[in-house]
Amino acid sequence: MNPIMSKSDAAALVVAARIRRGVTWAEIAGEIGAPVVWTTAALLGQHPMTEEQARRVCEFLGLEEAVAESLRLQPARGADPALMSDPTIYRFAEALSVYGPALKELIHEEFGDGIMSAINFRVDVSRRPDPDGDRVVVTFDGKFLDYRW
Amino acid sequence: MNPIMSKSDAAALVVAARIRRGVTWAEIAGEIGAPVVWTTAALLGQHPMTEEQARRVCEFLGLEEAVAESLRLQPARGADPALMSDPTIYRFAEALSVYGPALKELIHEEFGDGIMSAINFRVDVSRRPDPDGDRVVVTFDGKFLDYRW
Amino acid sequence: MNPIMSKSDAAALVVAARIRRGVTWAEIAGEIGAPVVWTTAALLGQHPMTEEQARRVCEFLGLEEAVAESLRLQPARGADPALMSDPTIYRFAEALSVYGPALKELIHEEFGDGIMSAINFRVDVSRRPDPDGDRVVVTFDGKFLDYRW
Amino acid sequence: MNPIMSKSDAAALVVAARIRRGVTWAEIAGEIGAPVVWTTAALLGQHPMTEEQARRVCEFLGLEEAVAESLRLQPARGADPALMSDPTIYRFAEALSVYGPALKELIHEEFGDGIMSAINFRVDVSRRPDPDGDRVVVTFDGKFLDYRW
Amino acid sequence: MNPIMSKSDAAALVVAARIRRGVTWAEIAGEIGAPVVWTTAALLGQHPMTEEQARRVCEFLGLEEAVAESLRLQPARGADPALMSDPTIYRFAEALSVYGPALKELIHEEFGDGIMSAINFRVDVSRRPDPDGDRVVVTFDGKFLDYRW
Amino acid sequence: MNPIMSKSDAAALVVAARIRRGVTWAEIAGEIGAPVVWTTAALLGQHPMTEEQARRVCEFLGLEEAVAESLRLQPARGADPALMSDPTIYRFAEALSVYGPALKELIHEEFGDGIMSAINFRVDVSRRPDPDGDRVVVTFDGKFLDYRW
Amino acid sequence: MNPIMSKSDAAALVVAARIRRGVTWAEIAGEIGAPVVWTTAALLGQHPMTEEQARRVCEFLGLEEAVAESLRLQPARGADPALMSDPTIYRFAEALSVYGPALKELIHEEFGDGIMSAINFRVDVSRRPDPDGDRVVVTFDGKFLDYRW
Amino acid sequence: MNPIMSKSDAAALVVAARIRRGVTWAEIAGEIGAPVVWTTAALLGQHPMTEEQARRVCEFLGLEEAVAESLRLQPARGADPALMSDPTIYRFAEALSVYGPALKELIHEEFGDGIMSAINFRVDVSRRPDPDGDRVVVTFDGKFLDYRW
Amino acid sequence: MNPIMSKSDAAALVVAARIRRGVTWAEIAGEIGAPVVWTTAALLGQHPMTEEQARRVCEFLGLEEAVAESLRLQPARGADPALMSDPTIYRFAEALSVYGPALKELIHEEFGDGIMSAINFRVDVSRRPDPDGDRVVVTFDGKFLDYRW
Amino acid sequence: MNPIMSKSDAAALVVAARIRRGVTWAEIAGEIGAPVVWTTAALLGQHPMTEEQARRVCEFLGLEEAVAESLRLQPARGADPALMSDPTIYRFAEALSVYGPALKELIHEEFGDGIMSAINFRVDVSRRPDPDGDRVVVTFDGKFLDYRW
């Protein structure tokens, strides 16, 4: 009996196959008919895939069954803290440090006492052309949950 | 000579006046003709206001000149770390921990090696009606900056 | 214009009045017709009270209007980290450290991929008599939220 | 002479066998006649099993003797801190941060100066059907211990 | 209404009175008929005193009623972390770092799976004369609690 | 040339041999005629053994010469911080947090300005029968060292 | 006898006077004939000023003698850690995280084993016009010190 | 399928080849016609190389294709925190701690509210001869970015 | 009853008086006939003074009786961690990080298993003239204590 | 191509050879004609050795060429933080915490504003016989560097 391959080992193999075969995250997402941010996050180890999704990803990328088994596993979510200081990710954390308290004020003003769910939730990322330089547009879209006893 | 009132003391007075007068952040933003997230962040101490903006906010809220002087001051930006664990703010941090590495992959795939600027940047928050419960939609919109030597 | 009294200052005055008048948290909760854990948490600064609740608590305890104003304020939630090592609170953290991963496994087994909400949520504490020594029984009761894109 | 297999290695093998054989934690618990939360925690490395319990679990899951030897070992208890930020586990920590001080007040009011034992202690988790969405109900049940010199 | 004097402010006044009047901790303990370690810890803010104990200590030391009120308060226990690196206290922490795992092994060997209670517990400190230099002897004496579901 | 086996690897082999042969720490200590707490700490990597002690332990437990070589090595002392939150060890840390400042006061009152040595030092652990449940009694016994320039 | 005004209080008064009088850091530096980065750092509390420098700054800004006394004081150097996450300062820390190991390699290649002194050291900041947007140019210039026994 | 060699493993092989062949960082940079600080940082894992750059470096140093594949990979940027306390790197961090707040003041005075970009950015290091000992001169040169909504 | 003035407040007054009166630490030490490092450390709050020492220091510096009372108090030893990163102090910490493990090896080689006492201990600092620049010579001189059970 | 052996692996082999051959650090230092503290620190990974030094050490200890190659490598300096709490090393850190601020005062009084260099620096350790127990005498001797712009 061997332990199940860790999600980080599976992610490293997915990344290697993706680069060597020259396919994009969007193409992988298309292959399984799922949103691209969700698919990327799942393959990096943040969501469990269904048996069908895991099988099709592994066929598409030429990966062995052990990877598919790992991709189906329920994850322990959260990124490596060291990665949070990578500049591309850090800018989001900095924006949250600057605008987080303002977002809190405005959510309470509009919705009352509660939160934006991070579970009933989706994220999208897109490019918006702009003559001064194209822009990265990231949308966080979560159900409002009010504090309810 | 007295030191300039701290930005956190000024913010506490703005919040007190806003609540006691029963005005919304949107009404204050309207008063100075600025976006509401920017205005809220500025009044909480994250952006300097122009002399005109600071004067009009203080007149609108009945606050003294010392508050206006503080609002014009260049800030040292960033939130109190204790505030980052407030549930309404924490959900954003959690989403970043779950989806940050995926966003990094997709930004690099679409734009190449670089970042979303957190300086040439805007944030918007809105309510999207939904039969299963209305949703909080927050948009991060920053210029792409490529690593360029 | 004065800033609004901080929630921690208001809580200190509520605690002083409660002790000097010899009333219990349950009696205060009864006065406003709210659950006792919710009421205690709210008075310690973790939930906003309605105008009516705040007014009645302050009348009951002989506290000034400035306390009521503070009790109505939207809180920034979360306990002082130093308090988390108090033995009475620490035992809960220790239990979570020992049983948290098992609870995660069992929630996923029973409900699928998701969480127990800490927002649509209630806590109760009660005494269960036992010949070997009475027991503290604390119930966490939160709506299951499944990860849903 | 080899060292005894670590509890985390043994847990990884138990998890792999459980998933590959398609059995539930409850079925394993039934096999050894022990409560399901206790059994899950023990198999994840938080409690020592008796020789009989360890033997029966390994037979049921088809695991080698080295796993059984590890399961009998006295553990050093406590979860990996990284795991505490997994959303499913974090919600308990957040609830404790919001309600911990209130629980402390109410335990002292009802029982006097002391704590809920985390040693003479049990945890149960169950599903409570609810028309607004089923609920996760977790009960912490520990003997009250008064400070006694 | 004033808040109740903090336990640390009360402790500072007890220490000042003790030194200015030239009395020992043992004399204060004798005055209330309680063990000296318990009494010292209580006056430093770690245990609540009864109304009678608090009254007699304040009379003995010439302290005002507000101190007595504070001494009766239920404490949030635990020392300032900065104090733990004072050399006189640090040596105990160092000894625990060196001998803690051995104590754990020997407690389990002698008693089985469980802990020494820190609640049903007492500490004593004494001087043991020794020709090579007198010795500090500190005894931790706590009830064994076995893990019991 | 191979590096010397690490003290933690040696300790893991000692523990495995001890359990598989069914001998107690006290029996090992008896074998080398040394105190049991000292012996246990030494075998867990906190004290160097003499050549004779190391040889006899390895013969008694059937361990290879490489273990004996490691046991003779001068250690870098101190426990893994993760281990300090194991409940059996944590209770000592908690007691130190509650009673440490009182011990400091009483040591200074009795001995003057100085410390209990953690080097010229011994620890003993014993069981004290008690009708309300047997007790763990741990004695820290260190030479008093006065601050002396 | 009053304690000497703290360097941070003195800096707050210097900043207030500078803003209210509408003078630049460069003008203050010119007044005392010192480099502008040095002068700014000194007035923010990082270098002691001579009696003459401190007197002239206070006359120029209309500040009282107590400020001058503080400016002469030997500082304990280093910034408030919270300030290091301000975006304008953080970019330097990020650049150091990305390029620090490369700088170390190149310093050793060019100079051998040693360091750039941060004591025999100067910093300059200037604007370099650029058609794609002006640039901030910061020069660190320190004496090479070789490891020398 | 193997995972792609990690950037730190690739860097270790580059360093080994560089030393064993006796070539300088400048010579490697010359080989690919890129600036020396950029090249060194890229080879240490902080920038992705083009296919052509990676190929030429590996040919020049006699390294296998797997290294080249790793060098082309998009990095997660940032140094190992342990490395930041190496004295040669630490002096930069110390200088930033002493002069960072002054740099912030002067950037705002000269450019207004904004930052020096760490993305549109270059670093140079050079030796400046000096009769009192040669000097290390490091220039940070980044585009000014103003806060722009 | 007032609390005793804190050691840090007393130190701030000693420093202010020393500077305003233009006396050196050595002159103060001479006044009480004690070593200068000991005296400086004591006045900064790290050692208790005798009644006679405290009285003479306060007379010499023109300080009030409340300072003398504080100087006699038993301290909680240890510096503010923020101060440890001041460059003048940090260099000692850096040297310890570089040479600490070597000192440990050499102490064990010369003396056996044990430590240099930090209690039966003295420190001296002196200037040693050197044609290449005078040198700071700091001597740590502590009694060897062997691990002795 | 293999990476160069890490400095910590090389140090482990040096330590093993030193113990197995029964030679002292002083004998190794004598073999290469270098000071003993410098030699020990270099062999533990804190200084690069010359080709000649590395070759002679490896011949003397019977170590392979790969160790010599590692010993010549430029180090990243600094000790493992876990090692700093070993009692033999910690006493130096404690002394620095108690006497560091006094050393800073006295260095400034004697030399002016500056530091003791930790680069142009040497450390010596010796035994000083004393009837009350021999003493460990450690001398830190560094060039004074004044803050010079």
Q: What kind and span of H or E run contains E119? A: strand E114-128
Query: Dihedral (C-alpha) G4, G9, G15, G21: value to the nearest 10 degrees?
Result: -60
Q: Which CATH class is domain J82-146?
A: alpha beta
The overall average pLDDT reported for chain J is: 98
Measured in residues, chain J has a length of: 149
* pLDDT at F61 exceeding the cut of 90: yes
The residues near J113 (Cβ < 8 Å, ≥ 6 apart) are G47, G48, G74, J146, J147
The residues near B70 (Cβ < 8 Å, ≥ 6 apart) are B4, B5, B6, B7, B9, B10
- Paired with E121 in beta bridges are E142
Query: Among B77, B69, B31, which Cα is nearest to B49's?
Result: B69
Handedness of CA A24, A30, A33, A35 (dihedral sign): positive
Percent share of chain A, pLDDT over 70: 100
DSSP letter, residue F143: E
Residue pLDDT, tens place only, I52-75 = 999 999 999 999 999 999 999 999
Once rounded to an integer, what is the mean pLDDT over residues E24-33? 98
- Identity of the residue in G1, G76, G118 whose CB atom sits nearest the CB atom of I63: G1
Chains A, D in contact, 3 or more Cβ pairs below 8 Å: yes
Phi-psi region of G33 (alpha: psi -120 to 50; beta: other; left: phi over 0): left
Assess contact for B102 and A40: CB atoms under 8 A.
yes
Once rounded to an integer, what is the mean pLDDT over residues E62-78? 98
C108 → chain A, closest CA residue = A74
Q: How far is G128 from chain J (nearest CA, A)?
A: 23
CATH number, domain C85-146: 3.30.1160.10
The span from the CA of B33 to the CA of B24, in Å, is 14
- D-chain residues near F85 (CB < 8 A): 78
Give residue D70's Cα distance to chain centre: 17
Residue pLDDT, tens place only, I85-103 = 999 999 999 999 999 999 9
- Identity of the residue in J13, J64, J85 whose CB atom sits nearest the CB atom of F3: J13
Mean pLDDT for back-to-back runs of 10 residues, chain A (149 residues):
96 98 98 98 98 98 98 97 96 98 98 98 98 98 97
Please give the angle made by the CA atoms of E88, E93 and E98, to the nearest 5 degrees: 125
* Tokens describing residue H22: 């006796």
By three-state DSSP, how is residue D22 classified?
coil
**Chains in contact with chain D (at least 3 beta-carbon pairs closer than 8 A):** A, B, C, E, F
State the CB neighbour count (10 A cutoff) for residue B122: 17
Strands (E) across chain D are located at: 114-128, 135-146
The span from the CA of F3 to the CA of E130, in Å, is 43
Low-confidence ranges of chain H (pLDDT < 70): none
* Tokens describing residue G127: 């604007």
B108 → chain H, closest CA residue = H74
What residue has token string 């470096």? Answer: H57
Q: Which residues of F are known catalytic residues?
A: 91, 94, 117
Query: Among I97, H97, J48, which Cα is nearest to G114's?
Result: J48
pLDDT of residue H1: 80
The span from the CA of F45 to the CA of F7, in Å, is 5
Q: What kind and span of H or E run contains D10? A: helix D7-21
The span from the CA of F79 to the CA of F89, in Å, is 11
The span from the CA of J106 to the CA of B36, in Å, is 55
- Paired with D142 in beta bridges are C136, D121
Phi, psi of E86 (to 5 degrees): -60, 135
Fold match between C7-72 and C85-146?
no
The span from the CA of E106 to the CA of F35, in Å, is 12
User: Residues 112 to 131 of G: which have CB under 8 A from any I CB?
Assistant: 118-119
Residue D90 to residue B94, Cβ atoms within 8 A = yes
Q: What kind and span of H or E run contains F18? A: helix F7-21
What DSSP letter does each residue of G11-73 carry, written as one string? HHHHHHHHHHHT--HHHHHHHHT--HHHHHHHHTTSSPPPHHHHHHHHHHHT--HHHHHHHHS
* pLDDT at F18 exceeding the cut of 90: yes
Residue pLDDT, tens place only, E38-61 = 999 999 999 999 999 999 999 999
* Tokens describing residue I35: 């070593």
Confidence of residue J40 (pLDDT cuts 50, 70, 90): very high
For B29-62, the three-class secondary structure string (H helix, E strand, C coil) is HHHHCCCHHHHHHHHCCCCCCCHHHHHHHHHHHC
Once rounded to an integer, what is the mean pLDDT over residues F143-147? 98
Domain boundaries, chain B: 7-72, 81-146
Percent share of chain E, pLDDT over 90: 99
pLDDT of residue F80: 92
Q: What kind and span of H or E run contains G126? A: strand G114-128
pLDDT of residue C10: 98
Q: Which CATH class is domain E83-146?
A: alpha beta
**Chains in contact with chain B (at least 3 beta-carbon pairs closer than 8 A):** A, C, D, G, H
The residues near D58 (Cβ < 8 Å, ≥ 6 apart) are D64, D65, D67, D68, D71
* pLDDT at C99 exceeding the cut of 90: yes
Confidence of residue B1 (pLDDT cuts 50, 70, 90): confident
Query: Among H85, E147, E140, which Cα is nearest to F86's?
Result: E147
pLDDT of residue B110: 97
The overall average pLDDT reported for chain E is: 98
pLDDT of residue F1: 80
- I-chain residues near J24 (CB < 8 A): 109
Q: How far is E131 from chain I (nearest CA, A)?
A: 15
The span from the CA of J118 to the CA of D53, in Å, is 60
Phi, psi of I110 (to 5 degrees): -85, -40
Assess contact for A99 and A122: CB atoms under 8 A.
no
Tell me the CA end-to-end span of chain I in Å, nearest whole number.
46
Fold of I84-146: Cyanate Lyase; Chain: A, domain 2 (3.30.1160)
Among residues H27, H59, H64, H94, the one annotated as catalytic is H94
pLDDT of residue J1: 80
By three-state DSSP, how is residue J42 classified?
helix
Assess contact for J121 and J143: CB atoms under 8 A.
yes
Residue I94 to residue H94, Cβ atoms within 8 A = no
Confidence of residue B40 (pLDDT cuts 50, 70, 90): very high
DSSP letter, residue D45: T
Residue type, B105: E
Q: What is the largest CA-CA distance in chain B?
A: 58
Residue pLDDT, tens place only, C133-143 = 999 999 999 99
Handedness of CA D84, D85, D91, D93 (dihedral sign): positive
Assess contact for C31 and C56: CB atoms under 8 A.
yes
- Paired with E48 in beta bridges are none
By three-state DSSP, how is residue F107 classified?
helix
Residue type, I30: G
Phi, psi of B110 (to 5 degrees): -85, -40
Residue I148 to residue F120, Cβ atoms within 8 A = yes
Query: Among J97, C132, F117, D19, which Cα is nearest to A74's?
Result: D19
DSSP letter, residue D33: T
Chains C, H in contact, 3 or more Cβ pairs below 8 Å: no
Query: Among E44, E49, E36, E24, which Cα is nearest to E138's?
Result: E36
- Identity of the residue in B3, B76, B77 whose CB atom sits nearest the CB atom of G12: B3
- Identity of the residue in H16, H86, H87 whose CB atom sits nearest the CB atom of J1: H16
Burial class of residue G3 in the structure, from the number of CB atoms within 10 Å of its CB (0-12 exposed, 13-18 middle, 19+ buried): middle
| CATH entry, A81-146, from 1.20.120.80, 3.40.50.1110, 3.30.1160.10, 3.50.50.60 | 3.30.1160.10
pLDDT of residue C1: 80
User: Residues 65 to 84 of B: which have CB under 8 A from any G CB?
Assistant: 73, 76-78
* pLDDT at G1 exceeding the cut of 90: no
Residue pLDDT, tens place only, D107-136 = 999 999 999 999 999 999 999 999 999 999
pLDDT of residue F17: 98
Residue B85 to residue D98, Cβ atoms within 8 A = no
- Identity of the residue in I17, I19, I87 whose CB atom sits nearest the CB atom of G77: I87
Confidence of residue E1 (pLDDT cuts 50, 70, 90): confident
The span from the CA of G49 to the CA of G32, in Å, is 10
What DSSP letter does each residue of C12-71 carry, written as one string? HHHHHHHHHHT--HHHHHHHHT--HHHHHHHHTTSSPPPHHHHHHHHHHHT--HHHHHHH
Q: Hey, of I1, I2, I115, which one would you mutate to test binding to chain E, going by the most E CBs within 10 A of its CB? A: I1
CATH architecture of E7-72: Orthogonal Bundle (1.10)
